[in-house]
Amino acid sequence: MQLGGGLLWVGIAAILCIAASSVDAATTTRPIIGILAQPGPNTGEQYIAASYVKYVEAAGARVAPIFYNETADNVRTLVASLNGVLFTGGGADISVGTQFYSTALVIYNTILQLNDAGIYMPLWGTCMGFELINNLVSNANVLGSVDAENYTVALDFTPEFAYSRMFGRAQPIIIQNLATKNITMNNHMLSVYVSTFNATAALTSFFNVLSTNYDRQGVHFVSSIEGKKYPVYATQWHPEKNQFEWVNEVIDHSADAIYTMQYMANFLVGEARQNSNRFANAAAESSALIYASARHLYDSGETADASFEETYVW
């Protein structure tokens, strides 16, 4: 698939009426999303920004941290007990061969294997998580430099968006907000160029591109993707920031933005509800949840990373 530029915004309501078919009935009412922790600023620490936890909880799920320095066997066991996994934004080294990358690869492969076995399980990546998933799928560094830090834009949808799982069932007002309002918060210096995506067979065979954007310098990058076969999703933009981050950045906190990003959270958790994975018993579940294991919850005035209001640290 070759991608072109420009905004697709013609007859949107009519298109959505014939969009993606209904999702399967939910198979759990107690979804738990695993979030991969990443190295913190201090040696030996790892963290998860609390905004991702709140984002998942706002859609009716709970969170279990996945520690990046855990053994591969333990990661596989944990992932098989979860209903979905989220790779967050941040500043970790996602180079091939790092421990963080290796753990992410274990998660990615486990989720694909579960889906191949008939267990529908989503993987989501946001910002750095988007970049990480693209590298995992291509088994290479496919990222290029962009000027898109502290940058809010509307999405330039591709034709594929209307038939996607991510957007195909969204109310027209959700699509209108995303396509016409500068509400998607970008905070990245790297991304996948549209030209790189088109030239990378591993990516074009795995993903449909649902939206693209241009950075401040006119560089064309991919901004939303969805797996063709697998429920693997990623956005270069941050759907969690509008509701839950209040630091001094150009984050849109309007009612339209909040309503739209709540749809994104609901979509992710709705995908996670479609499997019946669970822990062996209530004690194992309780001990895996973030409430049981977080050592500290700092506010933005106490942590070295001013990008977050609150941060879970271990």
Q: Is residue 17 flagged as an active site residue?
A: no
Q: 17, 127, 220, 296: which one is catalytic?
A: 127
CB of 90 within 8 A of CB of 49? yes
Provide the pairing of β-strand 232-235 with 220-227. antiparallel
What are 285's two structure tokens? 């579940």
Q: 188, 220, 238, 296: which one is catalytic?
A: 238
Q: Which amino acid is at 151?
A: Y
Q: Which SS3 state, helix, strand or coil, does residue 140 take?
A: coil
List 63's β-bridge partners, or say none. Answer: 33
CB of 52 within 8 A of CB of 150? no
Report how far apart the first and last C-alpha atoms of the chain are (Å, whole number).
43
Which residue has 């939303």 as its token pair? 224
Q: Which amino acid is at 187?
A: N
List 87's β-bridge partners, or say none. Answer: 125
Q: Is residue 127 flagged as an active site residue?
A: yes
User: Which of the residues are catalytic?
Assistant: 127, 238
